[in-house]
Amino acid sequence: MPGEFDFEAFGSKGFGEGYSKDKRSEMEKLYSGTVTTVNTGEVVSGVVVGINDRDVILNIGFKSDGLVPLAEFKDMTNLKIGDVVDLFIEEREDAMGQLVLSRRKAKLVKGWEYVQKALDKDEVIEGFVKRRTKGGLIVDVFGIEAFLPGSQIDVKPIRDFDIYVNKNIEVKVVKINYTNDNVVVSHKVLIEKDLEQQKAAILTNLEKGQVLEGVIKNMTNFGVFIDLGGVDGLLHITDISWGRINHPEEVLKLDQTVKVVVLDFDEDKKRISLGMKQLTAHPWDSLPADIQVGSKVKGKIVNVADYGAFLELQPGVEGLIHVSEMSWSQHLRNPQDFMKVADEVEAVVLTLDRDERKMSLGIKQLTEDPWTRQDVLSKYAVGTKHKGIVRNLTNFGLFIELEEGIDGLVHVSDLSWTKKIKHPSEFVKVGETMEVQVLELDAANRRLALSHKHLEENPWDTFETVFTIGSVHKATIINKNDKGAVLELPYGIEGFVAAKNLAKEDNGKAEVGESLDFKVSEFSKDDRRIVLSHKAMWSAEEEKPAAAAANKGGAGKKAPSKGSTIQSINQQSEKSTLGDLDALAALRDKMSGGESKSE
């Protein structure tokens, strides 16, 4: 009847029913022992149960076996059934119901665990150098690509990384960066521990003067670093050879084994100074005894400085040729004008100190001193004319070199008869050629007084007859200040007019650029000075002083008639120049002849 059906009695006849609770519990225990529970992302051990051309079948104790591509077992050349390997569970069950495993990922997970353990416990691990890269090597450790910097390969610089490729190497993990999956390892730290003990032993027994053997590990322009077996020492470039060298590579090579002597060491700073040249005798000790002051020697120029050059007679023996000993000229020049490095030069020994190992040399002594020649008195006699090169300018004049070693001074006042020159640079430049005349010769003191203006006659002898006191001349104002104005007179000479004497008849003031008539009120041949006045042209007050000065300057002369004659000559010859000395002489003769007829 509905509602009275015994479902339990009916169901007890199904599969698996009828077991007691104890029996069921026993069966569950047996089943749970044969099937392992696994989770995705775990690393488990698996047993190889089958191998075919493409895959390897593995049993991990799960309800089904998994497949792993045979390519992931390339490193296991002798893979066989029964081998146990680590596997990474990618999926418990894919779309096909298949368990998905990976040996490659298992190796990475385990590898990171081993790397972390090696870092924590400071363990030495072995890696395989796969390839070189920029700045170092790529090393495979536990399936992870780690970076071995070039500076961490060895205690000495490595110049060829390729010698380590495809070789095993022991390293220590020094840094892990999980963010970038980066591992840094070092081989140098393994070597340093061994070297520390050697270094301590070397420093303990180190003494000055001790001779050691080492290997050149690094080379710079100032010296080389030598590995003495765990500790480095510096061999400075100046201690390599008694001779002068520009770079250590001229006499030494990298990885070369050399003998050196300890010059000094600092135990606190672990610095050792080494020497190589000290192992041989000093070249000065073997310098021939016949080399004395006055001896002629030959050698090679090894250095040229601003003050001179160094001549090497033999390796380690040098003498200084000062620039002043290169030429008899009194004007110092650049030593490079005379010689350059590697030149073969002959010189004379000027000073020699074997104890201090110093020597000074000269090359000008190989030629005769020009001031001691027999012909110097006749060649540069007073009144002779010469051409020379301007070597130096000063406030008071300029120096001219007439020949090598013969110089003369031209005073600024001896440059021009007519122009007032404040500085020689207004007249000439250094390096230009100038013609001069000898005014004075002092061979004993090596002095020559020269002049440029004396090449021409003194025009002021003629000007004295032209610009007489009271004479009138047309002049142009070229400069003006509070005291007065500078005038440009005929023949290119200059005159001066006081400010009060610039006044015009209409009470106006003469300005720069105006050409007016001026009357001479004062003339000085010795001072080369002419003073004029425009006011005297129209003011009677100014005429009297001018006349009085004229009478005072030359008694018995007919100044008015001569002034009128000169004025007419000047008006006709306004455009004459200083260079026309012959014309001036003709004017003077003409003027003198006219006066004679008048008288």
We report the CATH number of the domain holding residue 402 as 2.40.50.140
Count the domains in the chain.
Answer: 6
Residue of higher predicted confidence among 550 and 330: 330
Nearest to 548 by CA among 566, 534, 536: 536
Asked whether 214 and 233 are in contact (CB, 8 A), the reply is: yes
Q: Are 235 and 226 in contact (CB under 8 A)?
A: yes
Summarised one tens digit per residue, pLDDT across range 470-491 is: 888 888 988 888 889 988 888 7
Domain's final residue, options 533, 556, 591: 533
Provide the token pair at 473: 């001349």
Same domain, 412 and 476: no
pLDDT at 194 over 80: no
- Let me know if residue 587 belongs to a domain: no
State how far the Cα of 312 lies from the Cα of 436, in Å rounded to an integer: 43
| 127, 111: one domain | no
Whether 70 and 133 map to the same domain: the answer is no
Clarify whether residues 447 and 378 are in a common domain.
Answer: yes
Half-sphere exposure of 137 (CA within 13 A, CB side): 30
**Encoding tokens for residue 547?**
């006349």
Residues 148 and 160 in one domain: yes
pLDDT band at 492 (very low <50, low <70, confident <90, very high): confident
Q: SS3 letters for 265-312?
A: EECCCCEEEEECHHHCCCHHHHCCCCCCCCCEEEEEEEEECCCEEEEE
Q: What is the pLDDT of residues 196-251, one digit of tens each?
A: 766 777 777 778 888 888 888 888 989 999 888 767 889 999 888 888 888 898 88
Domain encompassing residue 234: 206-279
pLDDT digits (tens, 9 = 90+) for 328-366: 777 667 888 788 888 899 999 999 988 888 899 998 888
Are 379 and 445 in a shared domain?
Answer: yes
- Residue that terminates a domain, selected from 66, 88, 120: 120
Domain boundary (79, 100, 120) is at: 120
With respect to residue 38, please indicate whether it lies within any of the assigned structural domains.
no
Burial category of 388 from C-beta neighbours within 10 Å (exposed 0-12, middle 13-18, buried 19 and up): buried
Give the model's pLDDT for residue 27: 67
596 lies in some domain: no
Exposed, middle or buried, 112 (CB in 10 Å: 0-12/13-18/19+)? middle
Looking at the structure, tell me whether residues 139 and 108 fall in a common domain: no
**CB-count burial class (<10 Å; 0-12, 13-18, 19+) for 533:** buried
Same domain, 403 and 435: yes
Asked if the structure places residue 323 within a domain, the reply is: yes
Asked if residue 221 and residue 267 are part of one domain, the reply reads yes
Distance CA 65, CA 101 (A): 10
- Tell me, what's the pLDDT at 597? 42
Q: Are 446 and 405 in contact (CB under 8 A)?
A: no
Asked whether residue 211 is assigned to any structural domain, the reply reads: yes
Instruction: Report yes or no on 234 lying in a domain.
Output: yes
